[in-house]
Amino acid sequence: MNRRPLFILFSIYPHCKRESDCELERFAWRVGSAGVDYIRVFSGWEEGPNFVAPFLTTDGKWDLFQVNPEYLQYLKRFRDALKRYEVGILFDFFPNQLSRGEYPFAFWHRDNNVNNINGVYDTRPHALAHFCSWIKTIFDTIGTDGNLFKFGNEMQAPGDWLDPTGRNNDVNEIKRWAEAYVSTIAQYVRSIGVKGPLSCTSENYAGTGHKISNYLCEPGWGLAWPWDQVINHIHCGTTPAFIEWFKPGTEDRRYSLRKYYAISDDGIGFSGINSVPPERRGACSSGRDWYGAWVGPKCSGDVLFRVEWVRYFRDLFGDRLAMVELMPQCHHSLTWKLNDLNQEVDLDCYQVIAREVYGKVDIRRDFPEPKRRAFYICLDSELLANVYCPNYELRQYWSWEDSPERVCDWHLPKPPPPPPKPCSWYINRKAGRWDFKSWLRCVWHKIFG
């Protein structure tokens, strides 16, 4: 009963050009030190000058077989920083939003690509070949060791009409889709060496996510995998209304005793079922969203409420609660940056949950804090001093804010000391120098060492 779940931070965009290497390093240190196991990352969700798209364009539309190399470079940079602090990536490959035409970044919508791929639910051979190619490209970049696969966010397969009771869903149509799509994708993921459980979002019991796990695990229905190899991810926020909504006993709140679950507090705000009482609010955030509209303020539950929330679902699912995912509320702002995370509510809460709910488990990792990185710059040159400084005069910058280039010293090693000056340099009348004491000291060292 006390086996703790994996702790997930939701969600970060690694293909953002806004963060410097130093800022990313500090973020990775904060997340790793807090005991976070994985960060959930999407194939793509946003657009704008600060973000790098995963694909290139042809004639104004996305070419899904032309991967943007710059995207992979930013993803690898992100992976490298996390790996130093023992944090993996939970890669969310095919979010439902990337199939919907109202999103400008919906690469897989039929009107937005040149490849005749009709959404992430397309089961035609050329579409499945692209999906598998995209999966391989990502895992070739981040590696299969220590990173996890997620089918997609809020998936809605053909026949899934988002009916919580399942009465109006076409189960046979969902099953036919699963036989063509889920089987191909899941077996391919395993064939390239991805370890650990696969996961999929399940908004309600009768939705696509649950049918994915049924197809993969139900004996006689599909692949008959072990139940703990597929995690059903439920969106269920840390609010009293959400906990009440998920109480068992009603027909549309059925949960299998065999399945394994992930819970997340996605979408918490100020209204309706998302409302957090003022006395229970943790971190709040307002700002412009990806479309320029004003969003917020949105608030998470405070740390103690998040503890109660995890405890409730631990008691409901027991050891079958496999993942706990928490969402930083600063994420809702268009201008947020990685180190805007609230230390207490967004990071320290993982340790409090582990301690209070899972028997005083200490999940913190002891990594030395990245020092304020020193690097050197020539006083009379705009070039950073990993090149030769003509006058040997160096200035140290001890903070990212002070440095004009905002780069870290592991990219710019301290330059070698300048070669010793000849003794005649100190008594050069033409240069206006007549330092007899320095000249005498120089001669002394030349003779006697």
Encode burial over 279-296: b for 16+ CB neighbours within 10 A, e otherwise: ebbbbbbebeeeeeeebb
Cα–Cα–Cα angle for 308, 309, 311, nearest 5°? Answer: 65
CB 156 within 8 A of CB 162: yes
Cβ–Cβ contacts within 10 Å for residue 331, how many? 19
Q: Can you tell me the distance from the alpha carbon of 95 to that of 321, in angstroms, rounded to the nearest whole number?
A: 23
Q: What is the pLDDT of residue 375?
A: 41
* Average predicted confidence (pLDDT) for the chain: 79
Amino acid type, 312? Y
3 state SS of 69: helix
Class of domain 6-357: alpha beta
Q: Can you tell me the distance from the alpha carbon of 420 to that of 101, in angstroms, rounded to the nearest whole number?
A: 68
Q: Are strands 230-235 and 260-264 parallel, antiparallel or unpaired?
A: parallel
pLDDT tens, the chain, 449 aa long: 468 999 999 888 777 777 777 778 889 999 999 999 999 999 887 666 678 889 999 998 999 999 999 999 999 989 999 999 999 999 999 988 888 766 667 889 888 999 999 888 899 999 999 999 999 999 999 999 999 999 988 888 888 876 656 667 787 888 888 888 998 999 999 999 998 899 988 665 557 887 788 888 887 777 888 999 999 888 776 666 666 666 655 544 556 778 898 988 876 766 666 778 888 888 887 766 655 666 667 788 889 989 988 998 898 888 999 999 998 887 766 667 788 899 999 999 999 999 999 987 899 999 887 754 444 443 333 444 333 333 333 334 333 344 444 334 333 444 556 677 788 878 876 667 778 888 888 888 888 86
Q: Which two tokens stand for residue 380?
A: 């009379």
Spatial CA neighbour of 31 closest among 12, 52, 56, 4: 12
pLDDT in tens, 407-416: 343 334 445 5
pLDDT in tens, 244-256: 666 655 544 556 7
Q: Which two tokens stand for residue 383?
A: 């070039």
Q: What is the pLDDT of residue 427?
A: 81
Q: Can you tell me the distance from the alpha carbon of 369 to that of 234, in angstroms, rounded to the nearest whole number?
A: 35
Q: Among all chains, which residue has been given the structure tokens 């046979």? A: 172
Length of the chain measured in residues: 449
Question: pTM for this structure?
Answer: 0.81
Q: What is the pLDDT of residue 244?
A: 67
Helices (H), 263-394: 303-317, 349-357
pLDDT in tens, 161-203: 766 566 677 878 888 888 889 989 999 999 999 988 999 886 6
